[in-house]
Structure 1
């Protein structure tokens, strides 16, 4: 039995990434990152309080607001302005280090992750 092999001509419009829908894949990466950020922020409240953090109601409110902002932006990444707003979210999280130092650590970590997400977006979508 001989198997016939088709020669596939490279499509000129094909993306070099090999993804079927690169825009959707990048949007999913960004949304997943923001959802994970939301979960980490919400789950960080209690450990910060127990380990000696003086989180008052204002600080907890800021954390919850940032988490809500992250999850809302994760659903809006189809719009180009939402990517800029998500970058601003990382800056706001860095500024929250004035409330507690551990929020600054989370801000640095998620800012670095977001820089990587933007790098992947630029690499895949051009």
Structure 2
């Protein structure tokens, strides 16, 4: 079984491949998300898209759940972005997802950058 950090390395390789193959920035997030899910699957990883995360407020289940873009090997959350200007709120959002799902690693990948490595962010929740 792969660990979070091993998965992270594979995800970065796949993200670079997707970005290169699709010609860089300029497409919708949904295009990059689907291509990344396909690339990860081709490398033997289990990937789920648009995973619902229930939110409970004081015992009340909020009607509209949050949605994770990708969940890899049931361990790593991936949030796909395709924006020109990165916003720090993306990291706060990812940390919230980690806490709600009791997971330890989220990756934010901004395909809106000229180079994916400049748009690749790790968010950890008690990961050593």
TM interval, shorter chain, is 0.3 to 0.5
* Higher-strand-fraction structure: 2
* More RCO (CA 8 Å, sep 6+): 1
Which TM-score applies when normalising by structure 2? 0.34
Give the alignment's TM-score, normalised by structure 1. 0.34
Greater radius of gyration (CA) = 1
